Amino acid sequence: MNIKSVKLRDIAKVIRSKNAGPFEITFDIIFRTKEDYEKVKASGVLNKRLIASLYNLDPQNILTFVFYDAANAVKITIPRMRPQGSIGEVDMHGAQQYVPLFDIDIPIDL
């Protein structure tokens, strides 16, 4: 059996981040098909430890990490590095924080 990997950006229909209040940012990863979603979920690649490493957090500080089967989606919420609108805060809407998720390698069985 050969194992190939694809980037998350190539298998997900939507990868986005957005404001979840003045102290949190939330991420949505939505997959094109139930099959793709189940493969990613079963791979175990998407987990709190990975998200924590991408966003320089302790895994215990991840507020929400949920696989939502009904929507073929993953929902993740993390604390903001700085409160929304405060001095030094660079993304008031949280809309640019999803980029590190793009290059996650997802193993796919052939």
pLDDT tens digits, the chain, 110 residues: what are they?
567 899 999 999 999 999 999 999 999 999 999 999 999 999 999 999 999 999 999 999 999 999 999 999 999 999 999 999 899 888 989 999 999 999 999 997 64
Check: CB of residue 45 under 8 Å from CB of residue 104: yes
pTM score, whole prediction: 0.91
